Structures are given as C-alpha cells and as structure tokens.
Amino acid sequence: MDSKGIVGLVRHLWHDWRTADAKIIAPLTAIRNERAFQNAENSGLKLHWTDKDSIRRRQREGWRPLVQRDVLMRPHIFIDGSEELLMMYKSSN
C-alpha cells in the first residue's frame, strides 16, 4: 500500500471515529438505564426528547444532543425507534 492509500485509510477511519452513531432507545423510558442520561440527570441538566423538526430551534436555544462515548471514545447519540426523536440536554440555568 502506498502513502496515498494509507492517508486515505486513516482519513476514512478518523471520519468513522468522529461521526456519531445512533443508539436506538425503545421504549423511551429505557433511556434511564443509560450512563450518559444518569450522569446528566445527576448533574442537574434539563433533558428532553426533541422531534427532528425542532432540533435546529432547540440548538439555537442552547440545547445539545446527549452524547455517550464508548470504550474507544466513539460518540453515540440517543434516538427513538422510529428515528423521529433525539435526546437533548441543556444547562438548568
């Protein structure tokens, strides 16, 4: 493999590592079993399921997707089974 092939492979792996995977939560109450949700709740953050049409508006209001990282530090976001809701958080200020 030449150097261009190695650079391309590294770029591909880097992109895959940085792109969030969706973790499907069904039923929605099962989110309470997730470490990231428990940590956010214990920190006093506001948590909310947001429909996909409201995500941009919520982000302008300071809401961010709840992200959990696995052992390799890859990001995972939480969505519902129909892929229409995203778990988001906001500081309780």
In a domain, 10, yes or no: no
**Is 77 a domain residue?**
yes
pLDDT of the residue at 4 = 65
Task: Tell me what pLDDT residue 74 has.
Answer: 84
Domain count, the chain: 1
Determine whether 56 is exposed, middle or buried from the number of CB atoms within 10 Å of its CB (0-12, 13-18, 19+).
Answer: exposed
The pairing of strands 46-51 and 21-25 is: unpaired
Could you tell me if residue 1 is inside a domain?
A: no
Read off the amino acid at residue 41.
E
Q: What is the pLDDT of residue 72?
A: 80
Helix, strand, coil percentages (3-state) for the chain, rounded to 5, are: 40, 30, 30
pLDDT at 14: 61
Say if 5 falls within a structural domain: no
Within-domain flag for 7 = no
User: pTM for the full model?
Assistant: 0.78
Full domain range(s) for residue 75: 20-90
Per-residue pLDDT of the chain (93 residues; tens, 9 = 90+): 666 666 666 666 666 666 778 899 999 999 999 999 999 999 999 999 999 899 999 999 999 999 998 888 888 999 999 989 999 999 977
Residue 61 lies in a domain: yes
Beta-carbon contacts of 44 under 8 Å, excluding residues fewer than 6 positions away, are: 92
